[in-house]
Structure 1
Amino acid sequence: MHYIESGAGTPLVLLHAFPVDARMWNPLRVRLEDQARVITPDQRGLGESSLDGSTARGAQEESAAPLTVDRPSVEVAAADVLELLDKLELPRVVLGGCSMGGYVATALLRAAPHRVAGLLLVDTKARVDTDEQRTNRLNAATRAERDGISGWLADNMLPNLLGATTREHRPEVAEELTSLIEAQPADGVAWAQRAMAERPDSFDVLRSFDGPAMVVVGKEDTITPPTAAREMVDALPRGELVELAGSGHLPPVEAPDAMAEVVRPWLASIDV
């Protein structure tokens, strides 16, 4: 599993959104790395992580995880992260995830709650997909395998990934995000879509987590809107809600200053 690491202090593992990779966290990373050891993995099949679970795309070694390519699930992706934590000798971390990364974070929390000292959920949700959403994911997975992703995936997703403020006033962010999306392997995109389509409801996991939890949502997010964030906060015994103005589905990219401002004091309060 490929990952980017920088900084020193509280171990903070951040899981990226779909359909990008760990580089989406770089704007936030540089604002936190004087306080935290920021670790951002490329999830299975995306960025530089191989779909077969090996260390990097093109590597020959086999993953120790028994669940592999033919069984797409957020549980497999969570097992990859746990394997990375073992490799880095990190018994407990502050765990964060944006969108798909939030689904993987809650899957890890279900599997190994003792490894999570604090939970940061960013523009994600605890509910399963509707039948229509699930069908759309499976259709997109089939199209990615058949046609690749160039020329349609970024065009289809950008209007929903970025808030209106970002689209209107920061076109460079849209350009950077398009480049990130276009860089993803089609097979990894398909695997991730199928994994998300099969994910379980996670409200039970949130209700059982008694550690500090922060839920961040962009006020302009139309994919997982503030109502979805409030549902998660209501389920978390120690949940705290932050709504960021001028941001859509990707605050670490759209509003890294504002996000860092709320994360830093919360992170400082956590004993890992």
Structure 2
Amino acid sequence: MTDRLLNHRAEGAPSAPPLLLGPSLGTSCALWDAVAPELSAAHRVIRWDLPGHGGSAAGLITAGASVGDLADLVLALADALGAQRFAYAGVSLGGAVGLYLALHHPERVSSLAVICSSAHFNGAGPWEERAALVRREGLADLAESANARWFTPGFTVPRLVRDHRDADPESYAACCDALAAFDLRDRLAEISVPTLLIAGREDPATPPAHLREIADAVPGAALVEIPGASHLAPAERPEAVLSALRAHLDGGARRGMEVRREVLGDAHVDRAQQRQTPFTARFQDFISRYAWGEIWTDPTLSRRERSMITLTALVAHGHYEELAIHVRAARRNGLTPEEIGAVLLQTAVYCGVPAANSAFAAAQRVLAEEDTAAG
């Protein structure tokens, strides 16, 4: 089964929010060597290789492949790793995969960063010509010009040039086929996930105008231009890319903290923050970023509905101290005492009478305290 999955490398705590990193054509997951370890402090970072690149099998795509085919392979990898919802960042072809995922599978993508990429790649002709050339002559000659296409003058990353030379020619050509057919310009306005565009100011392949075109069309998108960066910005200017990505990804934590305070109240959150230690800091960040920044902000369910589900789950597992906190939260989310009682009565049927008895006692204390405070 593993040979049917994209080769990948995972870093960071398995419980951290997942972040998938996509590569540019001709490179491998080594493109992210200077960025991924830093991002893994707060995320479960998963880098992947294109078919026939790095460690990925060559037969994963064939001639006539599309960016959608590559996106399907990324989703299969995410499924295999248990990443139901993930943040995504990708360079060039990897960025095109991210745009496709955000458009066609928005329920899977919590945020998107598109780096040195485009909603189109200057038409089919040049890519069809490159695909034919590679199928005919291989990659050795094309790899000789990699530095000029990828980096500013005088800069290189030998490992990435070697990966270019060692890629499977047929897989590389199939990726060219995908780029030739890719054009999402007329659908960019449909993308709804938080989106960041990062442009290399010296990038000849996907110049800043291409990223600006996406930023202007995607609602709420932000654009960052990096001076002194060409097409492979994460390798050439990793500090600038890392700074932009951190600011973008931390937006979920900030929004999560806002929602956490709205639901649980300032007093509770302040107490939790005051008790935070270096040992518990990552857990508190996980709660704010994932539980409150992704789950509680998902518009599929209302906050009233989420409160009812949360009360039920806490009763089922006997977490009565936490239940008291969420009875208060349920009142903030608009539930009446009668509705809270109805939820707890329902738990008596499916969670057991003793559990519901303890739950009613905890809820009654909270509601009495609220009545006293109101009086």
TM range (shorter): 0.7 to 0.9
Match of 1:245 in 2: 227
1:251 alignment partner AA: A
CA distance, structure 1, for counterparts of residue 57 and residue 160 of structure 2: 21
> Secondary structure of the equivalent of 2:51?
coil
Bigger shift: 104-113 or 188-197? 104-113
Match of 1:80 in 2: 73
Match of 1:108 in 2: 101
Are 2:141 and 1:147 equivalent residues in the alignment? no
Residues 31 and 257, structure 1, Cα contact 8 Å, conserved in 2: no
Which residue among 126, 132, 136 is the counterpart of 1:136? 126
CA distance, structure 1, for counterparts of residue 77 and residue 41 of structure 2: 22
CA distance, structure 2, for counterparts of residue 241 and residue 228 of structure 1: 11
More helix, by proportion? 2
CA distance, structure 2, for counterparts of residue 259 and residue 109 of structure 1: 21
Which residue among 116, 131, 145 is the counterpart of 1:156? 145
> Secondary structure of the equivalent of 1:237?
coil
CA RMSD of aligned residues (A): 1.6
> Secondary structure of the equivalent of 1:27?
coil
CA distance, structure 1, for counterparts of residue 209 and residue 105 of structure 2: 28
CA distance, structure 2, for counterparts of residue 222 and residue 215 of structure 1: 16
> Secondary structure of the equivalent of 2:20?
strand
Which residue among 254, 260, 264 is the counterpart of 2:242? 260
Match of 1:59 in 2: none
Q: CA deviation at 1:6?
A: 0.4
> Secondary structure of the equivalent of 2:35?
helix
1:7 alignment partner AA: G
Aligned residues: 247
1:263 alignment partner AA: L
> Secondary structure of the equivalent of 2:30?
helix
Q: Under a length normalisation based on structure 2, what TM-score does the superposition of the two structures give?
A: 0.63
More strand, by proportion? 1
CA distance, structure 2, for counterparts of residue 174 and residue 85 of structure 1: 29
CA distance, structure 1, for counterparts of residue 39 and residue 56 of structure 2: 24
Q: CA deviation at 1:205?
A: 4.0
Q: CA deviation at 1:12?
A: 0.8
Which residue among 176, 195, 212 is the counterpart of 1:193? 176
Query: 5+ residue gaps in structure 2?
Result: 1-5, 253-292, 295-375
Query: 5+ residue gaps in structure 1?
Result: 54-67
CA distance, structure 1, for counterparts of residue 161 and residue 87 of structure 2: 29
> Secondary structure of the equivalent of 2:210?
helix
Match of 1:60 in 2: none
Match of 1:40 in 2: 47
Percent identity reads: 28
Match of 2:160 in 1: 177
**More relative contact order in 1 or in 2 (CA 8 Å, sep 6+)?**
1
CA distance, structure 1, for counterparts of residue 248 and residue 101 of structure 2: 21
* 1:127–1:141 Cα change, 3 Å: closer
* 1:139–1:70 Cα change, 3 Å: closer
1:115 alignment partner AA: R
Which residue among 218, 221, 229 is the counterpart of 2:203? 221
Match of 1:232 in 2: 214
> Secondary structure of the equivalent of 2:47?
strand
Alpha-carbon deviations, 1:100-150, whole Å to 9, x = none?
Answer: 1111112222331110110100011113533xxx22222221222222111
Q: CA deviation at 1:174?
A: 4.1
> Secondary structure of the equivalent of 2:24?
coil
Q: Under a length normalisation based on structure 1, what TM-score does the superposition of the two structures give?
A: 0.85
CA distance, structure 2, for counterparts of residue 218 and residue 207 of structure 1: 23
